[in-house]
Amino acid sequence: DVKVTQSSRYLVKRTGEKVFLECVQDMDHENMFWYRQDPGLGLRLIYFSYDVKMKEKGDIPEGYSVSREKKERFSLILESASTNQTSMYLCASSPPWGGYREQFFGPGTRLTVL
Amino acid sequence: AQTVTQSQPEMSVQEAETVTLSCTYDTSESDYYLFWYKQPPSRQMILVIRQEAYKQQNATENRFSVNFQKAAKSFSLKISDSQLGDAAMYFCAYRRRNQFYFGTGTSLTVIP
């Protein structure tokens, strides 16, 4: 059974705190993604990584950074959390391009910044 | 950039009836994949059905089927014999190489 896991389901942080969201996949996938999900806006891509130590900015990278030191792990970092970063964060992974290649999602982390 | 449009923010269906969710996309590519994902309330996003653009035959998975109109860039999802467990947010997605693009979702309510 393939799995993408995220470190927390719910997280409450204070404005200005540094926040780490971790994602681990056990499918040996090359690609990993971080999305933000807000009502009415769907999924918006923050960053993605197509290989270890490689990263690409998505549509809304401002205020976020990422780290991928190992193939199975992709971390999202909020350097200084702000209230407008309160949201649901979804991690996903996928094999490389070719064939039936959908994304597999983690359960999500609902982050509240006070 | 590619865009995926789901024009129905909310839909409802009577249990055992059929409902169709709409999705259109914009692309100049000929080789891509399309997906429908389901996100039940407070639960994980899971794949419902997938379609390869080069295949003319519409994909089916049990009660779920798609109507793929490549020229019209349309990819609708039909749910037959709707069940209470079908209540969820449904997202249409497009993949080209390592880029995925999602619609804003359709919230489906199933009425007992």
Specify whether the CB–CB gap between A103 and B50 falls below 8 A. no
**B46/A43 Cβ within 8 A:** no
Could you tell me if B7 and B102 are in contact, meaning their C-beta atoms sit under 8 angstroms apart? no
The share of chain A scoring above pLDDT 70, in percent, equals 96
How far apart are alpha carbons A71 and A51 in whole angstroms?
Answer: 7
Domain count, chain A: 1
Mean pLDDT of chain A: 93
- pLDDT-derived band at A99 (thresholds 50, 70, 90) equals low
Q: How far apart are CA A112 and CA A18, in angstroms?
A: 13
Q: Which residue shows structure tokens 């080789």?
A: B31
Sign of the dihedral through C-alpha A62, A106, B85, B36: positive
Mutate to test the interface with A, among B51, B102, B106, B107 (most CBs of A within 10 A): B102
What are the structural domains of chain B?
3-111 (2.60.40.10)
Banded model confidence at residue A1, pLDDT cuts 50, 70, 90:
low
Contacts of A106 in chain B (CB under 8 A): 44
Nearest CB to A105: which of B44, B97, B105?
B44
Q: In whole angstroms, what is the distance from residue A95 CA to residue A2 CA?
A: 12
Least confident range from A17-21, A63-67, B13-17, B41-45: namely: B41-45
List all residues 6 or more positions away from A73 whose beta carbon is below 8 Å from its beta carbon.
A22, A23, A24
Percent of chain A clearing pLDDT 90 (strictly above): 82
Residues (pLDDT < 70) of chain B are: 1-2
A83 Cβ neighbours under 8 A, 6+ residues apart: A15, A113, A114
Q: What is the pLDDT of residue B29?
A: 87
Per-residue pLDDT, A56:
93
Per the listing, tokens 């860039």 go with B73
Residues from chain A that touch B93, judged by Cβ atoms under 8 A, are: 103
Q: Is the Cβ pair B100, A94 closer than 8 Å?
A: yes
Chain B residues within an 8 Å CB radius of A92: 45, 100
